[in-house]
Amino acid sequence: MKTLPVTLTDIEQAARRIEGRVLRTPFVLSAALSERCGVPVGLKLEHHQTTGSFKLRGATNAVLSLSAQERARGVVAASTGNHGRALSHAAKAEGSVATICMSRLVPQNKVSEIRRLGANVRIVGRSQDEAQVEVDRLVAEDGLVMLPPFDHPAIVAGQGTLGLEIVEAMPDVATVLVPLSGGGLAAGVAAAVKGRSPRTRVIGLTMERGAAMKASLDAGHPVQVEEVASLADSLGGGIGLANAVTFAMCRALLDDVILLTEAEIAAGMRHAYEEEREVVEGAGAVGIAALLAGRLGRLDGPVAVILSGRNVDMGLHRRVINGETDPFREGAA
């Protein structure tokens, strides 16, 4: 395999660096899915991670990889979602501080959650783009260090530690199902899994609505796609036209990318709740969704599914559990 931006060795180093600072989340067999699929199906319960998603792995590894000087200056990002939460927590835990820039349109509950995790919140402008301009200003004028949500070697290496834990828990795993957006998780997990177990297939899963990595892989270079609201909101956003790390890794390492409808994702969330007793956000349910929808073809060995996060609005979760299949369709209340 030609050398990619992040190697198995980088991921093993990340695992040692973050040990004791992030949870080693449980890996459990799903009786319901194993019976349905005819092969053992294991669930990596990463939605139980501190801050509610795997993003703490990458953020913690990235903050710990900075020099003491850089850490003292502080880190900055424009994410209001799971990366923003993770970075806020990781910076505080390592004696640094995160500044999270967000637009005036971000709901108050998100603002107070990020504040509660110990970050400085800066509210600027009316869009994510304007918030990013403020990030760039803080980097240029105040020397803060920008840590992006996926396209960064230390972030990818941190997310890859999840892959090491999966192969350790299920050494004969034949297929790993990974939620896919910017590709930090998929790139890291695929590098770890294939480094340890070269014949294991790694499959990226994302929503039909706005699948930027899939469109980019098909085009052979990073492309922009229109953003549409989805149950899997954590999978929204582009991969960056100047993508430096995750596009090449996903192209080299992923065996397939499968797109799921809103109804399939809703069914995945309902199965997680009703059968596994787990509250999972849309992005975290795509692996279960693909299995339930029979989208993987014939399975020839044990399957591992990453449940990547649980930060869903509980009102929305309740609506999905009660049977709504597409709360974000055009004109829906």
Ligand X SMILES: *Cc1c(COP(=O)(O)O)cnc(C)c1O
Catalytic residue among 96, 197, 230, 308: 308
DSSP state of 239: -
Q: Which is nearer to ligand X, 40 or 193 (CB)?
A: 193
Asked if 214 is an active-site residue, the reply is no
Q: Which is nearer to ligand X, 51 or 65 (CB)?
A: 51
Which residues bind to ligand X, rule: CB under 6 A?
53, 55, 82, 150, 179-186, 234-235, 281, 283-284, 308-309
3-state secondary structure of 99: strand
Question: Residue 210 and residue 227: Cα distance in Å, rounded?
Answer: 5
Q: Which is nearer to ligand X, 74 or 184 (CB)?
A: 184
CB of 234 to ligand X, least distance (A): 4
Q: Which is nearer to ligand X, 66 or 177 (CB)?
A: 177
Q: List, in order, residues 6 or more apart from 306 with CB less than 8 Å away.
A: 44, 46, 54, 162, 166, 176, 177, 178, 179, 185, 189, 284, 287
Residue nearest to ligand X (CB): 309
Q: Which is nearer to ligand X, 86 or 267 (CB)?
A: 86
> Contact at 8 Å (CB) between 87 and 78?
no
CB of 309 to ligand X, least distance (A): 2
3-state secondary structure of 140: helix
Catalytic residue among 30, 44, 55, 79: 55
Asked if 55 is an active-site residue, the reply is yes
Long-range interactions of 29-36: CB distance < 8 A, separation 24+: 30/275, 30/276, 30/305, 32/271, 32/275, 32/276, 33/271, 33/275, 33/288, 33/291, 33/305, 36/291, 36/292
- State how beta strands 27-29 and 41-44 pair: antiparallel
CB of 265 to ligand X, least distance (A): 12
Q: Which is nearer to ligand X, 235 or 269 (CB)?
A: 235
Residue 76 half-sphere exposure toward CB, CA atoms < 13 A? 22
Identify the H or E element spanning 113.
helix 108-116
Amino acid at 123: I
Question: Residue 106 and residue 294: Cα distance in Å, rounded?
Answer: 37
CB of 179 to ligand X, least distance (A): 4
What are the angstrom distances between the C-alpha of 221 and each of 111, 210, 241, 253?
35, 16, 8, 15
> Contact at 8 Å (CB) between 28 and 43?
yes
Q: Which is nearer to ligand X, 42 or 184 (CB)?
A: 184
CB of 139 to ligand X, least distance (A): 21
Question: Residue 268 and residue 218: Cα distance in Å, rounded?
Answer: 26
CB of 310 to ligand X, least distance (A): 8
CB of 299 to ligand X, least distance (A): 22
Catalytically active residues are 55, 308
